Copies of this chain bind each other. A is one copy, B any other.
Amino acid sequence: MASRTIENYLKQLYLEQQHVAEESVAMGRLATLMGVVPGTATSMVKALADSALVNYEPRTGVKLTAAGEQLALHVIRRHRLVELFLVQIVGLDWSEVHQEAEELEHVISEKLLERIDLLLGHPKVDPHGDPIPSAQGQVEELPPNTLVTCQEGEPLQVTRVLDQDAAFLQWVNQSGLTPGSRVQVVSRNPQADSVCVQSQDRPALTLSTSAAAKFLVKPRVA
């Protein structure tokens, strides 16, 4: 069985790959996510590569293999089921369950996990709206909602930006629509072919429908 350190590296890699358009994750980024110095990430990733859990390109980055992704998905399944369990059955507040699940995800037996899954009625999403992978490691890829397809006023979080053009991404940075930022659609105007978006505490921002379609979003429960 993978150590909890390995499980955490795989999990972070999976989550990072989700909303980073580039295929592979840079070592520095991984080190930051894991809260270790870069050298530690390098040596850990080499070990993961030896176990065929990741593909590692020195000086370029790291990417999960199919096996690594499966393992990551199982950890994420545990995490998200535990979160929902703690909210629904135990009655903790959804804001405190992430930290708790961070530990529990590594120690819960398969048996207990499936019992929890049953108790919750095989749920599809966790309290944050994130999808729960199946026991077979399949994720219900949420129908990719964008700033164009989502509901007006719904609290959202940007998950991914589908355009790699540098100038575009620079503008994204300035406008505060980077992955992770909290946004909501204020209004749409089909005649003007525009979408008005509010990002965090910034002034509202109007962009074209085609530009808005480049932003994948997910529902936010905060």
Contacts and interface: CB of A to CB of B under 8 A. Distances in A.
Interface string A75-118: 00000000000100111100010011001101111011001100
A88 B60 CA distance: 51
B92 A103 contact: no
Q: How many copies does the complex hold?
A: 2
Given A100-B109, A107-B107, A109-B99, A115 B92 contact: yes
A119 interface: yes
Contacts of A89: 89-90
Nearest to A97: B112
Nearest to A89: B89
Nearest to A119: B90
Among A92, A109, A111, A112, the most chain B Cβ lie within 10 Å of the Cβ of A112
Report the interface size class on chain A.
Answer: 10 to 19
A109 B108 CA distance: 15
Interface string A184-221: 00000000000000000000000000000000000000
Interface in A115-156: 115-116, 119
A82 to B, nearest CB: 11
A217 B107 CA distance: 33
Contacts of A111: 92, 96, 100
A117 to B, nearest CB: 11
A90 B104 contact: no
12 contacts: A89-B90, A90-B112, A92-B111, A92-B112, A96-B111, A99-B109, A100-B109, A103-B107, A103-B108, A104-B104, A104-B108, A106-B107
Interface of A: 86, 89-92, 96, 99-100, 103-104, 106-109, 111-112, 115-116, 119
